[in-house]
Amino acid sequence: MKTTAKQGKIHVSSQKANLVCDLVRGLDVVKAARILDNIPNKTARIIKKLMNSAIANATNNHNMIANKLYIYAITANQSKTIKRAIPRAKGSSSPIRKRFATICITLSDDVNQKQKDLADIKLKLRQKKKSASKKSNQSNFLKGEKK
């Protein structure tokens, strides 16, 4: 089973947040918490809070065991950008972009969850291809064409 926690409008660029996300992606929550404790970064503190929130969601809402959880997926996507200007020489100005990010973390208690999800996606793609080929064969048959 999977559980998700999401936080938006974090005043850090998504590029910097992705650097921290890459460090903890796929780890169990105990190892990830230790790693995040030792990173002197604003994003690490935010991700640790968000991970603790996701753990609380899993234990309280879905009756999962906290020590068996691992990070199924973690993403840091770009959010809004506030545009400001800084004065320059001869009355001109240069733009300043204050970037924000949205961080989403998904925890799972089943280690083989990704393989199961990939198998489901592949099965659906095969079914779509079969149905598309049947439709094209039917339309060719109605037109009088033979293969």
Sign of CA dihedral 117, 119, 123, 129: positive
Closest by Cα among 98, 106, 57, 103 to 81: 98
Cα within 13 Å of Cα(23), Cβ side: 18
pTM of the model: 0.80
Which neighbouring-strand residues pair with 73?
A: 106
- pLDDT one digit per residue (tens) for the chain, 147 residues: 899 999 999 999 999 999 999 999 999 999 999 999 999 999 999 999 999 999 999 999 999 999 999 999 999 999 999 999 999 999 999 999 999 999 999 999 988 888 888 888 999 998 888 887 777 766 666 666 655
Residue 146, pLDDT score: 56
Distance CA 57, CA 71 (A): 14
Q: Phi first, then psi: what are they for 124, rounded to 5°? A: -65, -40
Task: Enumerate residues 6+ apart whose C-beta is below 8 A from 114.
Answer: 72
Task: Match 């545009």 to its residue by tokens.
Answer: 83
Tokens coding 42: 């604003």
